[in-house]
Structure 1
């Protein structure tokens, strides 16, 4: 039995999807349906916390993994940045430099327990909120998303782990894949994410 651990924010948690519960829950149900007695069992844990940045991740990742450490190996997905890069009161919630340090720290901690680690890209935002301060007081921009995604891509390459590029799967159709707030996917968007993730999950089933 292997464990799959999904760390992230509200997009990992599945916020704004009242139908399917988000992409991780879709993948979780798929893994449960594919399991047959005598085959490999993969137990998936959705560890997304709404509003969390990498500052929260590095405080809890070791505890979460130690509590769910499979003797047959863990598969870890790390999906952060949408909150880190948000400008609030004139500054990014987590600077690019600090973001890189935090992601690297998380990867190093995960390697103590995981056989495979995947870094997940930040999704694009809708045109209507690109560079606009929204009701929560946060401002997100395409320029920042591209910058933080490059950090994720570089960190994945430097540490010989996989970069899962949801951004490219969304960017051309983002206006129909994002919910009304322009940040979280809608049901269709979460479905696209699940479709991109399921081939990875199948490797462990």
Structure 2
């Protein structure tokens, strides 16, 4: 091999290694997209669910960043109106958590389902994976409403082949010591319980993205 050919080969190999290293060094970019439960109502930014989940995943050796796109009071119609600009290009996955405020306002479950599905379709069209987070209707709305509302999430997950976490407030909703004084939102300790329970599903989501599934 001539010297110039060897140098060209060596330079090309060095560039390939450098570029592959740069790709590996880039964190996987996720968005936590939701309402006050995602935003971290009355909590410091570092205590909100996305920040705490990001830390838990990094402690597991997974290089991820999770931006907080939670908006307090947001409904599924509000989420649909902002999903295009709230989820920037380069995002690999979205943790989609909306619907609690729809139920509190008594919005027809069919409307909630249509809005969620529209968001899922828009994200998938942009090649952004979705981890769908479920919610349960308050019992005061009656069994008929609850049956229709609660089924939305599992049905959408099945229809769109999404990874699914059934109930965001699992382990917190009935425990006053894990809630703020309003009895609706988790406190810092409550967020810790949510993250602990959510973590296995989040790990599965992140690892599937890293594998390009």
TM-score by length of 1: 0.73
Q: How many residues align?
A: 179
Aligned to 1:136: none
Larger relative contact order (C-alpha < 8 A, sep ≥ 6)?
Answer: 1
Instruction: Please provide the CA RMSD for this pair.
Output: 2.8
Aligned with residue 52 of structure 1, among 74, 80, 87 = 74
Offset at 1:102?
0.3
Aligned to 1:99: 112
Q: Which runs of 5+ in 1 are unaligned?
A: 132-140
* Conserved? CA contact 2:172–2:194, under 8 Å: no
Distance, in Å, in 2 between the alignment partners of 1:190 and 1:171 is: 8
Offset at 1:77?
0.9
Instruction: Indicate the structure (1 or 2) with the bigger Cα radius of gyration.
Output: 2
Aligned to 2:33: 7
TM-score by length of 2: 0.71
Identify the structure with the greater helix proportion: 2
Distance, in Å, in 1 between the alignment partners of 2:183 and 2:173 is: 14
**Worse-superposed segment, 43-52 or 165-174:** 165-174
Alignment of 1:1-205 (within 5 A): 1=26, 2-18=28-44, 21-32=47-58, 41-65=63-87, 67-70=88-91, 74-87=92-105, 92=106, 94-122=107-135, 131=140, 141=141, 143=143, 144=145, 147-166=148-167, 169-170=170-171, 173-203=174-204, 204=206
Offset at 1:33?
5.1
CA shift digits 1:138-190 (9 cap, x unpaired): xxx47555542311111111111122123573378434433221211122221
Offset at 1:83?
0.7
